[in-house]
Amino acid sequence: MKSRQFHLIHFFSIGSFILLILLPLFLGMKRILFASEGWSFSYIHSFQTHNLTSGVLWFTFLQATLSTLLTIIIGLPLAWILARYHWKKAPLMRAILTMPFVTPTIVAAMGFLAIIGRGGLNLIGNEDYRFMALILAHAWFNIALIIRFVEPVISRVHPSMEEQLRFLQMGRTPYQRIRCFWIPILWPSILSGAILTFTFSFTSFAMIRWITPGNLSLESFMAIHSSGVGIPGYLVEINQLILAAFLLQLTILVIGLGAIGILQKKLSSVIPLVDEKYEKPKPQKIRLILYPALLFVVTPLISVIVGSFRIQDRTKRGTYFWGLDGWKRAINGSYAHTDIIDATMQSLVYASMTVIIAVPLGLLITKSLIELEKRSNHKARIAETFLMLPFCISAVMIGLGILIGFMKWQPDLMSHWWIPVLPHIIIATPFVIRIFLSTYRSIDGELIEHAKTLGLANWALFWNIEWHYIRPPLIVASLFCAAISLGEFGASWMLARDGSFDTLSVLIDQIMSKPGFDPLTYPTAMAVATVLMIITLSFFTIAEKWRDEHNGGGF
């Protein structure tokens, strides 16, 4: 009876989360299909030819592909030197290089805008430079992915593997060693990192919205036109275009997720998992590669801070002065219905709610997955894949699902302030699961079994044994969840514009949307961005501390 009960809980936790992901998508799809007056493949064609959307698919693909290539070009050497050399402050360097990935995308956008924009390099008037800045921003954001995927693989290559190669005919030249060894060893991890980079660049919203406003991607098209969809008999054509965009993006992302699933198996098989200790050389000249990279990582962040103090002097052409006026305006000023204090509080409320719900939910799901693995590895793998769906379904798609799937059926929901918590939970929970899964998989099964022979069961077992192991990842997961919720932009932008509950990231967007006649508008937005950046990165820093000591987390 007891085991049966357990079974139900596991089933329920996994099932309810999958339902939470799929239900809005399903209901949204149903409604948009209705408003589009049915499905036809001709919508895809219209999407390519309609004057609102022609070029959107091409632009999305082009920028995502170039972003991915650049990310690999920058990330690979970094992964290499981090893995091959002995760095005294390796954890710190890894943390700095990972920082962009947890930086809120709107802050990243502000950073690059500050670099190329007014008072920066002044390249903003040229579309080509803007496009390059977008690619660079995406690479900046995603290098951590390449490093986190590739570095462990390179680290696991024992020197004897390379030495042995030199005695073999096919390993006598560096070219042969690259072709016969390094490429086969590294491609699955590089490709996994590349696919995720492609996915994130493909679905990037805040950065495209602010760095290249002249171009729409599938994601920004869906976001910007979301308000008009799902109303039967109204804007039928827009509904059809959004439906086409949604399905195109879904197809591409699902293919990406599938590919990563397949690669995951390959990843573990290319190189033995045994970690043998060996001495790594000290970096000498190679430092010259790392230092510019660290500079590249911190420049946009510093530019945001600098931008908050730099004010245009409109009376003298091309001059600026330094001042606290932007900050004064941000803190005391009257510039939006939500001020920085309210927005910070609201952001923190959303973040705490996300943590309170997503962390226990993620823990429960992880335990269920582990249980399921014991019963049927196959089923566990399928469940895991579904649980990772939010990794590839974009924030705007989740937002769109909730908007059309729930709110357009039930308009009363529009005015409920807690709605944005929903996408935050959907987006954050898979990260929690990832973090806990790697912990649980590393707990020695015998430990648990031994504890059971000592008569510990269920709660006692949990408190006395498991709790000890999951405390560090619990902290890491909570901080990560909070950081994700704080930085989330796409879904919040669509759902949380109820001005009484703006988050910091939406507030930045709102200030930037105003006409810039007032020279304080820009520094004010930068000041708010600085606040958001500092809160998020301090969460991340604390999380990194816990992760280093206990190695708790896949991200």
Residues within the interface to another protein (CB under 8 A): 50-52, 54, 118-119, 122, 124-125, 158, 160-161, 163-173, 180-181, 184-185, 213-214, 216, 224, 227-228, 230-231, 234, 269-272, 312, 314-315, 317-318, 334-337, 339, 408, 411-412, 414-415, 497-500, 510, 513-519
Report the first-to-last Cα separation within the chain, whole angstroms. Answer: 38
Q: Which among 103, 101, 24, 18 is positioned nearest to 429, based on CA atoms?
A: 18
Q: How far is CA 487 from CA 89, 253, 298, 533, 537, in A?
A: 27, 22, 18, 9, 10
Q: How near is the Cβ of 271 to another protein at its closest, in Å?
A: 6
Q: How near is the Cβ of 6 to another protein at its closest, in Å?
A: 35
Query: Smaller CB distance to another protein: residue 323 or 519?
Result: 519
Rounded to 10°, the helix 340-375/504-513 angle is 130
CA 553 – CA 555 distance, rounded (Å):
5
Query: Smaller CB distance to another protein: residue 459 or 517?
Result: 517
Answer yes or no: are the C-beta atoms of 150 and 72 closer than 8 Å: no
Q: How near is the Cβ of 119 to another protein at its closest, in Å?
A: 6
Query: Smaller CB distance to another protein: residue 200 or 210?
Result: 210
Q: How near is the Cβ of 118 to another protein at its closest, in Å?
A: 5
Q: How near is the Cβ of 28 to another protein at its closest, in Å?
A: 13
Q: How near is the Cβ of 533 to another protein at its closest, in Å?
A: 22
Query: Smaller CB distance to another protein: residue 32 or 78?
Result: 32
The DSSP element (H or E) to which 376 belongs, if any, is none
Residue 279: phi and psi, rounded to 5, are -85, 135
CB atoms within 10 A of CB 90: 15
CA 532 – CA 535 distance, rounded (Å):
5
Three-state DSSP at 321 gives strand
Query: Smaller CB distance to another protein: residue 411 or 455?
Result: 411
Q: How near is the Cβ of 41 to another protein at its closest, in Å?
A: 21
Q: How near is the Cβ of 171 to another protein at its closest, in Å?
A: 7
Bridge partners (DSSP) of residue 320 are: 312
Name the amino acid, one letter, at 42: S
Q: How far is CA 177 from CA 72, 153, 163, 196, 268, in A?
A: 20, 16, 11, 27, 21
CA 354 – CA 343 distance, rounded (Å):
16
Answer yes or no: are the C-beta atoms of 66 and 137 closer than 8 Å: no
Query: Smaller CB distance to another protein: residue 377 or 513?
Result: 513
Q: Where are the beta strands (DSSP E) in 257-406?
A: 310-313, 319-322
Query: Smaller CB distance to another protein: residue 5 or 269?
Result: 269
Query: Smaller CB distance to another protein: residue 41 or 167?
Result: 167
Bridge partners (DSSP) of residue 136 are: none
Three-state DSSP at 414 gives helix
Query: Smaller CB distance to another protein: residue 90 or 224?
Result: 224
Q: How near is the Cβ of 432 to another protein at its closest, in Å?
A: 31
